[in-house]
Chain A
Amino acid sequence: KAGVTQTPRYLIKTRGQQVTLSCSPISGHRSVSWYQQTPGQGLQFLFEYFSETQRNKGNFPGRFSGRQFSNSRSEMNVSTLELGDSALYLCASSLQGSPAQWDGYTFGSGTRLTVV
């Protein structure tokens, strides 16, 4: 079965611009989460969506937002880009299940965002 698909793979933007990243989860997975990965901070949780609703949100400024569509596809948006937003943005999907049965994510390959 197809894995988690993220587009685009690479993106270069200028400070102050905004960017939208896209994620298509594995078919049947309704939970989609986003993480930011940087050399200094490692992987940090951005937010999780399930059934078009944001269920959890990490400690990021309001410039970071997301949404999920009825087909479970998700987008994240970063407005007013800063140099520090340069990172690998990873999308991950998982089956619903109960939290006790959750056995982890399937990650996409990520979108490498460079802000200049």
Chain B
Amino acid sequence: TQLLEQSPQFLSIQEGENLTVYCNSSSVFSSLQWYRQEPGEGPVLLVTVVTGGEVKKLKRLTFQFGDARKDSSLHITAAQPGDTGLYLCAGASGSARQLTFGSGTQLTVLP
């Protein structure tokens, strides 16, 4: 069974601070996706990374896929209250359209 461990589980920071969320596994994934979920809604895809060592930037968000494709990180610069939400990493393996999700990081950005 593939597992994805996310840390931290909870994060509460002040507006303007930087933060990093980690997603680790002992398994290799063909791709790694990050989603953000708000209360009462389904997850929304932020990014997909597929190549070991790949770095993608989405405005203030930077995503990195580990060289061995077993881990990933999400870095947010100058967090804003609108960044508040549940951040989920999810790994895909082989040819199946089936994701293994991490347990999530609940981020709260205080104004």
Indicate whether A and B interact. yes
The answer, yes or no, to whether B94 is at the interface (CB within 8 Å) is yes
Of the listed stretches A13-21, A62-70, A74-82, A106-114, chain B binds A106-114
Q: Contact between B97 and A55 (Cβ–Cβ < 8 Å)? A: yes
The answer, yes or no, to whether A104 is at the interface (CB within 8 Å) is yes
Q: Contact between B48 and A108 (Cβ–Cβ < 8 Å)? A: no
The answer, yes or no, to whether A92 is at the interface (CB within 8 Å) is yes
- Given A99-B30, A104-B33, A45–B43 Cβ distance below 8 Å? no
The answer, yes or no, to whether B102 is at the interface (CB within 8 Å) is yes
Question: Which size bracket describes the interface of A in this complex?
Answer: 20 to 34
Q: By the criterion of a CB under 8 Å from any partner CB, how many residues of chain B are at the interface?
A: 26
The answer, yes or no, to whether A100 is at the interface (CB within 8 Å) is yes
Cβ contacts A65-102/B at 8 Å (1 or 0 each) = 00000000000000000000000001010100001101
Which B residues touch A55, using CB under 8 A? 96-97
Q: Contact between B31 and A102 (Cβ–Cβ < 8 Å)? A: yes
- Given A4-B42, A43-B88, A99–B97 Cβ distance below 8 Å? yes
Q: Contact between B92 and A102 (Cβ–Cβ < 8 Å)? A: yes
The answer, yes or no, to whether A24 is at the interface (CB within 8 Å) is no
B residues within 8 Å of A by Cβ? 30-31, 33, 35, 40-45, 48, 50, 88, 90, 92, 94-104
